[in-house]
Every structure is written in structure tokens, then in C-alpha cells.
């Protein structure tokens, strides 16, 4: 396999990894604030549908992208109501959010299957795209991919270097101490759920605005679940999330190209790879160590009066 | 709250069903259609629904349809409801409806059942499908004439006989005009997933394919071809709208040539259980109009071959035909039987890729 085939695989890796990267960072933000939200798949497909809908009617992909994020964030607030107002079970509520999101998008989206809408197309970044090898891989993508390059760094900077980020982290580590410091951990968790949902929605929007310019039922096809697994794989750190998302994107891109060059392996075996990798990843990352722990108060509700 | 919504939905459904039955006159023939995907998909179910619309235009016929019905238990329920509601003829358009329909057919001996793409029949149930492979052979002639790299990509849904038969016929067409060309196959294991199907087409373009064909219901592969500046061949219905610069032609279904004929037979009392497998000559399958980039010479050649298939002087699967390993599967002077075609699980010479 020569360079002329490896470069397209790596370029496709970035593209297939991007929706997962957005969603992984979204779930990571929510979990860092102390709330487990298994509704990623639901929020993603919600975002994918509304992105398509808005772009279809307005012809403005950027407006569609923004609306998808905000609407998915608002949709995710259903989880906040259950967990932060009524102290409901976070696992059950998250699952319900996924089922509801997929169902709603299916129900509302059926009339739009097969239509097309404006979206993002690849363009070359001046100068950078003429770099040998790297230019072809990283700088001939679409605007949403370029945006995603900055996200892990922004995420890291926000969580570690800003007052609000540190406060969100505190709500996830020790809500009682956070409260004692004069902050309101419940409000911080509301924010964590909302902005996490926004990022998940943006990941979904990538599928219907850039990856394809089409909408179909169930188009997230399990990518939300991969994102949930990747948060654990990444030990709740944004840099590793980027690595993990591209690892998955790479496997998806690779198996199709392996078939294309005429590999005689059964295709079922190749298609299984990303999912087999999910299990392996979870096995390996379950070995705990320093700097690998989940936020201490992850999944623990804040009881009133605490 | 959920209960209230449930009751409201139920009430609405009863109202709609009741409305449907009161409007239809007593002597009207009621015809139901069950689709596996939404009809708006510009694909497989869309093609069937165009057929339904021509039935709806007939005198004394009322049509009904249910879309996005999953194969299996849900299909049994939907078909059963249609029969109980009094539909006289029920068309089920997906392979996985076969056993559910057979089960319901036994319970309703006076209802006529028509099942698409399967092989089981009953005294009141026919099997039907179209010889799509004939249209795919013609599409192969076009692809073989247009390729410069001699690599043609084919995004396939599932490795089942229906899809493999199409790939084989397509490849025979390609190699009839261009013996050096090869057809590379990528399986997506999806019928309608634009993202995966587009990625599959891109992977084929990456290895040098300059014509992309598909046995997928989404226009994802067409988009990939358009963006990469290579040619494409669509499936189900004319997909030129999705890739105006890339689209050479599409292998298309035309169920309007079949459904009204069946209904006419039922009305006259001439219907009997059968296994229909109509093709180009009856007009059930066809090629979409050629794109401007297809030279007149190629168009004429394809149209001439189409006429020969129509009048029976040319058979697509006429020997000698070798498989991927070079073994002769259909001997010289022989033509593949329908039984061989419906169970086809091997690839002809010239196909690159795994057949499973």
C-alpha cells in the first residue's frame, strides 16, 4: 500500500472522526460537571435533523449549524430536569433521552428523507494545504473540521485556566466543597449538560451538513455510543479524545478501502472492527491509575439541602 | 400524560381508518401496499409508490399504504390489519415480508397477496420481482465504455443473490465492451445510510475508480462521484438530480408496468398464484435517460443491445461464463436458468473483492 493510498485514508480518517470528536468533547464536558448523560446518540440525531431542516429552508449552513447546537442543548436539558430537579436516575434518564431523540427525529424527519440541502464543502487552506503530505491530510477539509482542530485546546484551556471551567470541574469532583466555596454546583451542572448537549448536536450536524448533504432516519448509526465509550478511553481529557476519535475514524475509513483494493476477507469481519475496538478500548481503560480516574462525583446526584 | 397521548393517537387512528372505509364505495377494489422504507427516499420504496399511484388512477380502485414497516413481527401485524380491514389485494415489497405474508395469507383465503423479491407462494399468494440484472447489464455497457482507468467501483448493500446477480450482470456488460476493466466491490451492509455509502464510494475513488455504480438506496455514492469529478450510475430511480455532472444513467424500476396489470386480472377474476419475473420487455426495469456526456455512439450501442434483450435474441447470462477463480460456471451454449440466477452466490471473472 503506497503513500498515494495512505494519504486518502488519513484524510478520510479526519472526516469520519470529526462528528465523534464533537460528541466526545460534549459528553466529556457534561461528565466533568458530574453528570453522566447516555443521551448522546439522541442529542446527536436531534442535531443532525434540525441542521438539515434549517439548512433546507434557509439555505444557510452556518445558521443551521448554530441552530442544531442550541436545539440539541435545549433537548438535553430534559436530562437536567430529571437529574437536577427531581434527582432521578442518571443512567435511566440518559437512555430515555436517546430513545426519545432517535424516535422524535425519525417521526419528524420522515418527510425530509431523500431531499437535499446546502452544506459545507471542502476547501484548501492557503499555504498550509501546500505542505507535503500534511497539507493533503489536514488542510483540504471543510470548515467544521478546521473548527474542530481548535476544540480540544479550547476545552483544555477552559477547564484548566478559566474561573468558570475550574468551577464546572469542581461541581464534578466535589459538589459540597464547591458549594462551600460560594458556588452553586447545581447551576454549574445545568450549564455542563446544556453546553455538552450543544457539542453533541454539532457532531450530529456534521453528518447532515458536511459528511453528506442528506438526511435519513437513524443516520448517526451508533456514533453517539462510540463517543460515550471514548470519554472513558480518553480518561476525561480532551487531547486523548482527539486521538481516540481519529482512531475510530481511521478504522472506519480503513476497512472500506481494504475492501476496495480487493481484500478477500469477509466484509462482516471488517465491518466489525470499530465495534470490536470499542470493547478492547473499554477493557484497557478500565485499568485505573493516577490521572485516569473519572470525576469523583460523576453520576452522583446533588441532594437538596446538601 | 403518556396514556392520554396514546389514547388520542389511537382515537385518531380509528378515525382515519373509519374515514377510509366509509369513503370507499362497496364495490371498490381495495389495494394495500406495505413499504420497508419511507416513500420519500427517492429509492426503492419511492419506485414502488409510483407504481401504486398508477393503480390509484384506475377506476373503482382505492389504494392504501403503510411505509417504514420493519421486516418481521411488525410486518405480520400490518399485513394482518390490512387484511382484516378488508383490503382485497395486498402488496408487500420487501424480502423479509415473505413469511409474515404467507402466515396471514393462510388466515384470509379470499384476499390476494403479492410478495416482492421472495420465492414462496400459496394458492392466494404470488411472488414477483423484476429482472433488474438486464438493466444493470446495459448500465455496465455504459460504464465500460466511459472508464479510462479501467477501474469501476460498485458500492453493494448486502452480499445476497439479488445484489450479486446485479454485480455479475453489470460486470458482464462492462467486459463486453472493455475486457481489461475490473469492477471493485465494497459492501456497506446498509440499504440506506448516506454517510457510510458515500464513504464506500470515496474509498473506491481513492483506489482509482472513475465510474461509481451502486446497489444502495441512498444517493450518497452519487454525491461522492460528483464531488470527486468522476462518473456515476444510479439505481432505483433517475438519480441525476443528485449528481448532474457525474450521472451517466440509472438502472430503474418501473412498477407502473406491472401493478395495474395485476389489478386488472384481479378485477376480471383471472388472477392465479404465480411467480412473476418481468424484465425489460415488459417494461418493469429500464435505464434512465443518458447524461449529456455519454457519446451518441455509446447510446446507440446500448439501445441496440436493449432491443435485442427485449426481443429475446440476447441473453445476459449466456455461457461461457467463468467465476472469479477462472472455473467455468455456465458452459458455452448454455443459458443460466432462473433457479441458478435466484441462488447466485458467486462472482463472475472481472469482479474484485470478497463475495461475502
Q: Evaluate whether the domain defined by B28-131+255-282 bears CATH number 3.40.50.2300.
A: yes
Q: With CB atoms and an 8 Å threshold, state whether A256 touches B67.
A: no
CATH architecture of A3-288: Orthogonal Bundle (1.10)
What is d(CA B231, CA B135) in angstroms, rounded to the nearest whole number?
Answer: 18
Report residue B25 as a C-alpha cell. Answer: 364505495
A219 preceded by a cis bond (ω within 30 of 0)? no
Taking CB atoms and an 8 Å cutoff, what residues of chain B touch A260?
Answer: 153, 184, 186, 200, 203-204, 206-207, 209, 353
- What pLDDT was estimated at residue A147? 97
- For residue B118, report the phi and psi dihedrals to the nearest 5 degrees: -105, -165
Contact yes or no for A266 and B204 at CB 8 A: no
CATH class of B132-252+284-352: alpha beta
For CA atoms A23, A24, A30, A33, the dihedral sign is negative
Rounded Cα gap, residues B220 and B215, in angstroms:
11
Q: Residue B215 to residues B114, B145, B242, B270: CA-CA distances in angstroms? A: 24, 20, 16, 35
pTM: 0.83
Q: Residue A12: list chain B partners with CB under 8 A.
A: 199, 202-203, 206
Question: Residue A1: its pLDDT value, please?
Answer: 55
pLDDT for res A281: 75
Alpha helix segments (H runs only) across chain A? 3-32, 40-58, 61-80, 90-109, 134-138, 143-161, 163-173, 175-180, 185-206, 223-233, 238-260, 267-285
Whether A2 contacts chain B with CB within 8 A: no
Beta strands in B15-163 (DSSP E): 29-34, 61-66, 89-92, 112-116, 125-130, 151-156
Residue B25 has pLDDT above 80, yes or no: no
CA distance B278 to B187: 27
DSSP classification of residue B242: G
CA distance A75 to A100: 10
Residue A72's CB is within 10 A of a number of other CB atoms, namely: 34
pLDDT of B192: 79
Location of C-alpha cell 468533547? A25
Q: How confident is the model at residue B43 (pLDDT cuts 50, 70, 90)?
A: confident
> Does residue B254 carry a pLDDT above 60?
yes
**Angstrom distance (rounded) from CA B291 to CA B189:** 29
B242, B220 contact by CB (below 8 A): no
Candidate from B193, B207, B242 with C-beta closest to A257: B207
Among candidates B40, B102, B109, which has minimal Cα distance to B75?
B102
For residue B186, list chain A residues with Cβ-Cβ distance below 8 A: 256, 259-260, 267
Q: Do the first three CATH levels of B28-131+255-282 and B132-252+284-352 match, i.e. the same topology? A: yes
Residues of A in contact with B353 (CB under 8 A): 259-260, 262-264
- The residue with greater pLDDT, B141 or A281, is B141
Alpha-carbon span A201 to A198, nearest angstrom: 5
Residue by residue, DSSP assigns A87-143 as ---HHHHHHHHHHHHHHHHHHHHGGGTT-B-------PPTTGGGSTTHHHHHSSS-H
Is A91's Cβ below 8 Å from some Cβ in B? no
Select the residue from B6, B35, B190, B194 to test the A interface by mutation, using most A Cβ atoms within 10 A: B194
Q: What pLDDT was estimated at residue B20?
A: 44
Mean of per-residue pLDDT scores for chain B: 90
Q: Where are the domains of chain A?
A: 3-288
Q: Which of A216, A263, A264 sits opposite B218 (nearest CB)?
A: A216
Which residues face B249 on adjacent strands? B233
Strands B321-322 and B328-330: antiparallel
| pLDDT > 50? residue A98 | yes
DSSP helix/strand/coil, A264: coil
Nearest-neighbour CA in chain B from A37: distance (Å):
23
Please say whether the beta carbons of B356 and A266 come within 8 A. Answer: yes
Q: How close B7 comes to chain A (CA, Å)?
A: 18
Q: What is the pLDDT of residue B262?
A: 96
Q: CA B201, B204, B205, B209 torsion: positive or negative?
A: negative
Angle of CA points A166, A167, A172, to nearest 5°: 95
For A83, which DSSP code? I
Picking from A112, A212, A267, the nearest residue to B356 by CB comes out as: A267
- Cβ separation B186–A264 shorter than 8 A: no
Whole-number average pLDDT of chain A: 91
Domain boundaries, chain B: 28-131+255-282, 132-252+284-352
| Average pLDDT estimate for A220-245 | 92
Q: What is the ipTM of this complex?
A: 0.79
Shortest Cα–Cα distance, B65 to chain A (Å): 15
Q: What is the DSSP annotation of B132-157?
A: HHHHHHHHHHHHHHH-SSSEEEEEES
Q: Which residues of A touch B219 (CB under 8 A)?
A: 114, 116, 214
**Is the pLDDT reported for residue B24 higher than 50?**
no
pLDDT grade for B18, boundaries at 50, 70 and 90: very low
Q: Which of A5, A216, A258 to mutate to test the interface with B (most CBs of B within 10 A)?
A: A216
- Asked if the Cβ–Cβ distance from A114 to B40 is below 8 Å, we say yes
- The answer to whether the CB atoms of A214 and B218 lie below 8 A apart is yes
Residue carrying the nine cell digits 446500448: B302
Nearest by Cα to B171 from B213, B210, B140, B138: B140
Please report how many Cα atoms fall inside a 13 Å half-sphere around the Cα of residue A183, on the Cβ side: 22
Answer whether residue B37 shows pLDDT above 60.
yes
| B208: number of Cβ within 10 Å | 17
Calpha distance B220→B197 (Å, rounded): 6
* DSSP classification of residue B305: H
Largest CA distance in chain A: 64
Question: For B227-238, how does the pLDDT look when each residue is reduced to its tens digit (9 = 90+)?
Answer: 999 999 999 989
Q: Which residues of B touch A51 (CB under 8 A)?
A: none
CB contact under 8 A, A9 and B206: yes
Is A145 touching B (CB cutoff 8 A)? no
Q: Is B28 helix (H, G, I), strand (E, B) or coil?
A: coil
| Residue A55, pLDDT above cutoff 60 | yes
Q: Nearest CA to B255 among B117, B158, B68?
A: B117
Amino acid at each position: 500500500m503506497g503513500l498515494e493510498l495512505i494519504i486518502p485514508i488519513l484524510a478520510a480518517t479526519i472526516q469520519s472522526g470529526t462528528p465523534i470528536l464533537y460528541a466526545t468533547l460534549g459528553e466529556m464536558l457534561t461528565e466533568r460537571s458530574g453528570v453522566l448523560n447516555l443521551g448522546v446518540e439522541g442529542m446527536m440525531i436531534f442535531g443532525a435533523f434540525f441542521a438539515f431542516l434549517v439548512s433546507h429552508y434557509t439555505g444557510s449552513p452556518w445558521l443551521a449549524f448554530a441552530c442544531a447546537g442550541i436545539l440539541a442543548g435545549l433537548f438535553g436539558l430534559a436530562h437536567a430536569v430529571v437529574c437536577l430537579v427531581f434527582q432521578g436516575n442518571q443512567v435511566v434518564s440518559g437512555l430515555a433521552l436517546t430513545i426519545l431523540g432517535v424516535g422524535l427525529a425519525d417521526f419528524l424527519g420522515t418527510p425530509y428523507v431523500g431531499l437535499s440541502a446546502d452544506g459545507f464543502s471542502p476547501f484548501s487552506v492557503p499555504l498550509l494545504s501546500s505542505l507535503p503530505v500534511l497539507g493533503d491530510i489536514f488542510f483540504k477539509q471543510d470548515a467544521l473540521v478546521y473548527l474542530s482542530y481548535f476544540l480540544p485546546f479550547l476545552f483544555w484551556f477552559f477547564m484548566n485556566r478559566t474561573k468558570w471551567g475550574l468551577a464546572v470541574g469542581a461541581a464534578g469532583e466535589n459538589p459540597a466543597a464547591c458549594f462551600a466555596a460560594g458556588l452553586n454546583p447545581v447551576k454549574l451542572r445545568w450549564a455542563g449538560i446544556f453546553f455538552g448537549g450543544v457539542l453533541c448536536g454539532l457532531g450530529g450536524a456534521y453528518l447532515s451538513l458536511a459528511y453528506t448533504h442528506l438526511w435519513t432516519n437513524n443516520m448517526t448509526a451508533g456514533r453517539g455510543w462510540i463517543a460515550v465509550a471514548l470519554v472513558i478511553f480518553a480518561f476525561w481529557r480532551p487531547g486523548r479524545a482527539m486521538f481516540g476519535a481519529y482512531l475510530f475514524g481511521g478504522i472506519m475509513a480503513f476497512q472500506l478501502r481494504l475492501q476496495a483494493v480487493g481484500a478477500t476477507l469477509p466484509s462482516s469481519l471488517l465491518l466489525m472492527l470499530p465495534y470490536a475496538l470499542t470493547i478492547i478500548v473499554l477493557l484497557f481503560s478500565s485499568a485505573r491509575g493516577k490521572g485516569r480516574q473519572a470525576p469523583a462525583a460523576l453520576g452522583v446526584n446533588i441532594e437538596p439541602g446538601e | 400524560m403518556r396514556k392520554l397521548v396514546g389514547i388520542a393517537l389511537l382515537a385518531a387512528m380509528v378515525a382515519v381508518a373509519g374515514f377510509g372505509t366509509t369513503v370507499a364505495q362497496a364495490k371498490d377494489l381495495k389495494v394495500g401496499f406495505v413499504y420497508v422504507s419511507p416513500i420519500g427516499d427517492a429509492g426503492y420504496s419511492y419506485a414502488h409508490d409510483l407504481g401504486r399511484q398508477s393503480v390509484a388512477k384506475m377506476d373503482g380502485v382505492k389504494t392504501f399504504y403503510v411505509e417504514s414497516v420493519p421486516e418481521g413481527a411488525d410486518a405480520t401485524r400490518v399485513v394482518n390489519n390490512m387484511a382484516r380491514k378488508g383490503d382485497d389485494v395486498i402488496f408487500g415489497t420487501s424480502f423479509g415480508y415473505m413469511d409474515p405474508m404467507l402466515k396471514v395469507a393462510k388466515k384470509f383465503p379470499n384476499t390476494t397477496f403479492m410478495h416482492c423479491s421472495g420465492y414462496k407462494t400459496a394458492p392466494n399468494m404470488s411472488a414477483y420481482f423484476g429482472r433488474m440484472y438486464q438493466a444493470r447489464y446495459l448500465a455496465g455497457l455504459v460504464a465500460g465504455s466511459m472508464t479510462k482507468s479501467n477501474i469501476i467501483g460498485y458500492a453493494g448493500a448486502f452480499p445476497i443473490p439479488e445484489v450479486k446477480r446485479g454485480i455479475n450482470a453489470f460486470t458482464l456488460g462492462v467486459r463486453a465492451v472493455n475486457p481489461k476493466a475490473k469492477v471493485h466491490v465494497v459492501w456497506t451492509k446498509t440499504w440506506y445510510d448516506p454517510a457510510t455509502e458515500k464513504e464506500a464510494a470515496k474509498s473506491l475513488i481513492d483506489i482509482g475508480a472513475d465510474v461509481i455504480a451502486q446497489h444502495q438506496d441512498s444517493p450518497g455514492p452519487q454525491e461522492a462521484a460528483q464531488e470527486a469529478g468522476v462518473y456515476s450510475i444510479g439505481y432505483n430511480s433517475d438519480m441525476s438530480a443528485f449528481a448532474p455532472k457525474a450521472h451517466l444513467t440509472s438502472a430503474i424500476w418501473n412498477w407502473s408496468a406491472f401493478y395495474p396489470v395485476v389489478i386488472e386480472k384481479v378485477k376480471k377474476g383471472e388472477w392465479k398464484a404465480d411467480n412473476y419475473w418481468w424484465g425489460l420487455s415488459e417494461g418493469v426495469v429500464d435505464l434512465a435517460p443518458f447524461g449529456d456526456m455519454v457519446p451518441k455512439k455509446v447510446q446507440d450501442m446500448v439501445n441496440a443491445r436493449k432491443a435485442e434483450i427485449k426481443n429475446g435474441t440476447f441473453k445476459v447470462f449466456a455461457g461461457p461464463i467463468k467465476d472469479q477463480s477462472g472455473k467455468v460456471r455456465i458452459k458455452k451454449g448454455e443459458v443460466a436458468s432462473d433457479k441458478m440466477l435466484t441462488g447466485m452466490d458467486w462472482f463472475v471473472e472481472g469482479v474484485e473483492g470478497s463475495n461475502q
